[in-house]
Chain A
Amino acid sequence: MNQWLDERLHISRLNDKFLRKAFPVHHSFFLGEITLFSLIILILTGILLALSYEPSNSLVVNSFDPGSADKPNLIPAAYHSALKINAMPFGDMLRRIHHWTANIMVAAAVIHMMRVYFTGAFKKPREINWWVGMLLLIFTAFTAVTGYALPYDNYAYNTLKVIYSIAASLPWVGEWVSQAAFAGKFPGDGLIPRVYGYHIMLLPGILLALTAAHMLIMIKQKHTQPQYAKRIAYKKIVGVPLMTQQTPIMLALTLVFAGIIVLFSAFIPVHPVEFFGPPSTTPINNIKPDWYLLWVFGVLAIIPSFEIEILGGVINSEFVGAIVVPTLAILAMFAVPMLDRSRDNLYYAENPTNYPVRLGAGVAFMALLIVWSVAGYKPELISAGILSNTNANAVLWIATFLIPALSYFAVQAIVRGIRSLRESDARDRAAFQAADD
């Protein structure tokens, strides 16, 4: 059969080109794979959910609690279908798996990027793949956000309202952009069909295309080699081939990973739509976005209020906090490969402690995002009496500058410590060697 296929599809060439791709043997190289497996699980569970979901915000009678004939209990069809999915055998489980996997996909992508950043794997020739990866991260976040709008409970409604108003806060074009993006004035009749279109067609399409590009470039350029490869065979590709050594490892990883997700989903509920209820005018106290957008939320919570009108366009705190600041953060991440001036191709993953400035900058950046995420808990910090209403903003703004700076210098100090230990080790070794001679 191999020969039959080979004569038609040139399997042997595919084998040489792709299936023999060498995978480095190191656990940190599994992070990208976990992101990929998450995407696959999300697509599979997403298809199953889409089969039972009704993308419409038209009002229908709640079949679980129909009310009376003269005063029927009307709820949006999308919310109703979410309740029906919960009532299906394993329906709630399916939603939980989808939700948990989405969170894990973002987390795995973030840790994967941290690995790439700290080991210098974004350097020449892999700059393009860093940028493709950035796009993947951004679109993953968009996909996740449009996803938690779909159950159209009160939580989703409030989330959508904030996203709509963030889009509307763009100066000059905001109103048009937000109406074009969300099918008219909020909440228009076409709102849920529109978001559904984004979540199941547009964004997954973009994600799949970018993932394909990401992996093709990776296969073409090869993985960065772990340090041990330098000692084993200098300037040679070291690793196990995709077929047949890496495949069972991948399968095992997939199964373990899927098992963990199912366990999580079985015991930790996510987003109980019944609890939030259908869209209403009653605000949800202390509503928060998912953890990966908490930093944007935090910036909005501590930014002072202002509004400037320039040539008919309004620039306000919301635009600066929710669009300008995140854009700057994302641009900084996009710029990472351009800050590197090396002309040679990078073969070997670098030891982060040999690049203290890069290491410190990365840690400081993450510290900044963590400080802003904590700022997202401002109301809770005030309620708990840790901060007061008058000093909360000042304290959080000082922390915004101070903590990243402190973490930068702490990293430098630690790196220096590690280096001096390493040097004293080398001295000892040299001394012993001298004594042996």
Chain B
Amino acid sequence: MTRYKRQDPEITRRKFINVAMGTTAAVGGVSLLSTLGAANPIFRLTANKMPPQAGDILVHAQESKEGQPIRIADLGTQLVRAWPQGKDENGEPVIRKGDPNNILALYRFPKGQIVAPTNLDATIDGETVAYSDICTHAGCSVGDSDINAGEMKCPCHSGQYDPKRGCIVVGGPPPRALAQLPIKLEGDNLVVTGFFLTYPYPYATEAEWESIKKEVEAART
């Protein structure tokens, strides 16, 4: 090793090639990354993917009677699953199951059992109540609890909800109560009177839910 390094005022060929190769690799790498954009397809908010909204009627989700309108007499203290059914752009009825997060849970408890924080104005006679059936934790469909009668339990990570008290979380990891859906009785049909009162799964923030509501409103007019 010499103690003196030769000072070369000019750029060496080796240095030039190294810099050129480095630049090419960097540009090439970044442009390859752009192909990742193709991984995420465009989302179109079609009628079957819209969340339940005012005017939808509730129909059975259970396979054997899917699509039959739900009657008050079908309901009880055992969970009944329902889909919202609305109209598509041609006015034909469409079950909104294009988004599986639209599945609903219906209960009917004797008068007086349903208490706050349930919104009683959004129930039918304070007896029949509708919630989003999608666990706010990891998006599984919630069923009746086999541990505590009258409660709901998510099979995925054992989140528990109390459907008589606004579906608040009474156990397990879910971060929020299940969203309540305002309903009323119109003739024999159960009819939705508006959007979910709070933001349902899969929306992570109030703002996201507000923006999807606006999108739906825009598509309706």
Which residue numbers of A lie inside 8 Å of B, CB to CB? Answer: 158, 161-162, 164-166, 168, 174-176, 179-181, 183-188, 190, 280-287, 297, 300-301, 303-307, 309, 312, 314, 316-318, 321, 378-379, 382-383, 389
Q: Using Cβ atoms and an 8 Å threshold, which residues of chain A touch B176?
A: 307
The answer to the question of B164 belonging to the interface, with a C-beta cut-off of 8 Å to chain A, is no
In the complex, 8 of the A-B residue pairs with CB atoms within 8 angstroms, ordered by the A residue number, are A158-B156, A162-B156, A176-B40, A281-B100, A281-B103, A300-B157, A316-B175, A321-B173
The closest CB in chain B to the CB of A187 belongs to B100
Taking the closest CB of chain A, its distance from the CB of B200, in whole angstroms, is 13
Top 5 nearest A-B pairs (CB, nearest first) are A307-B175, A180-B40, A165-B139, A180-B39, A300-B157
The dominant DSSP class at the B interface is loop
Q: How far is the CA of A174 from the CA of B138 in the complex (A)?
A: 13
A287-B155, A300-B137 given; 16 more Cβ-contact pairs under 8 Å: A161-B100, A162-B138, A164-B139, A165-B137, A165-B138, A168-B202, A179-B43, A187-B100, A281-B141, A283-B140, A283-B156, A305-B174, A305-B175, A306-B175, A317-B137, A317-B175
Question: Complex: how many Å from CA A188 to CA B100?
Answer: 11
In the bound complex, CA of A184 to CA of B204 (Å): 17
Cβ A161 vs Cβ B175 within 8 A: no
> Closest Cβ of chain B: how far from A72's Cβ, in Å?
13
- Minimum CB distance partner of A303 in chain B: B173
B 100-150 contacts with A by CB, 8 A: 100, 103, 133, 137-143, 146-148
CA distance A370 to B156 in the complex (A): 19
Whether B40 lies near A165 (C-beta < 8 A) is no
Whether the pair A389, B147 counts as a contact (CB closer than 8 A) is: yes
> What chain B residues lie within 8 Å of A180 (beta carbons)?
36, 39-40
A186 to B99, CA, bound (A): 8
Contact of B205 among A314, A383, A389 (CB under 8 A): A314
CB contacts (< 8 Å) of B57 on chain A: these are none
- Min CB distance A62 to B, Å, is 13
Cβ-defined contact, A283 with B39, below 8 A: no
Residue of A185, A286, A300, A307 near B155 (CB, 8 A) is A286
Instruction: Report the minimum CB–CB distance from B145 to chain A (whole Å).
Output: 9
* Contact status B158-A379, CB under 8 Å: yes
A283 / chain B contacts, CB cutoff of 8 Å: 140-143, 154-156
How far is it, in angstroms, between the C-alpha of A180 and the C-alpha of B39 when the chains are bound? 5
